[in-house]
Amino acid sequence: MAAPSGAPTQQSRLNVVVLDPAHGGTDPGARGTGGIRESEIVLSFAMEVRRELEQQGFQVLQTRQGNENPSFDDRSAIANAQRGAVFVTLHISSTGLPGTVRVYVNSDLPPVADSNGMIPWDRAQAPFLGLSRTFGDFVQGFLAQRFKGSPETSQTASVRQLRTTSAPAIAVEISSVTVEDRADLDRMAPGVADAISRGAAAFKPSYIVPTTPGALP
């Protein structure tokens, strides 16, 4: 069915944050020599981020609560079913300067909408790239204040998880599983949670999505 291209008839604001602890199940993600597994750490980070976001008044949805491994599409589908949501996928790297955090937004995508006015699922992120960058820059700015050596602005990368997400979407990658003691990473969780929730709060007034009847979600 073609999407009407008329003037926006209503506006929605950010009220939902979808948190995606990456990997899980048989996919442990990055692994450190000390037995640190990315899939476990990101889950505990997600709990901390969730608490901070809920204190800010956001409704939080998680793509996984335990040690499951939903597909990329299943994770995106949770965000794509919401109105006025942002998507944050959490990762721990296996390289990079320990104690730093990078925010990524998806690389440029070709124009959206096919001849029927449908947005292909595999390019769902395309209309949101500008918003994703704004959101990413807010979060990266707060992270740079907390974690010295982190970039000042968000980076671009072809992140598979972000491409199919039809919402402002960022990937947050914390360095790294190479730390000798897991406690070094755990100590970063409150700072990361604070930066993400402050970033979401700062981004909220900017997030006005023109919608038309029959349009997303």
Partner 1 sequence: MTPRWKFLLAGGLVFILLAALIFVPILRRRMKRASKLQQQSEEQARRELTQPIAINSGDPRVKTKLFWASDTIDATLAPVTVDLPLSNDPVLRSKQVLNTLLAGPVDAELRTLPPDALLLAFYLLPDGTAIADFSEALATSIPSGIASEQLAVNSITRTLEANVPQVQRLKILIHGQEVEALAGHLDLTGTFAVNTKTGQPPVNPAAATPALAPAALTPEKAPGKLAQPQGKP
Q: Are strands 209-211 and 10-12 parallel, antiparallel or unpaired?
A: antiparallel
> Within positions 24 to 53, which residues make up the interface with partner 1, using CB under 8 A?
27, 29-31, 38
80-109 residues near partner 1, rule: CB under 8 A: 80, 91-97, 100, 102, 104-105, 107-109
Rule CB under 8 A: is residue 202 a binding residue for partner 1? no
Looking at beta carbons only, is 55 or 94 nearer to partner 1?
Answer: 94
161 binds partner 1 (CB under 8 A): yes
**∠ Cα 54 189 85 (to 5°):** 40
Q: Which stretch binds partner 1 (CB under 8 A): 46-54, 58-66, 120-128, 189-197?
A: 120-128
Interface size with partner 1, residues (CB under 8 A): 76
Tell how far CA 34 is from the center of its chain: 27
The answer to whether residue 217 forms part of the interface with partner 1 (CB under 8 A) is yes
DSSP 90-102: EEE-SSS-TT-EE
Residues 166-185, interacting with partner 1 (CB under 8 A):
166, 171, 173, 175-176
The residues near 74 (Cβ < 8 Å, ≥ 6 apart) are 63
Which one-letter amino acid corresponds to residue 204?
Answer: K
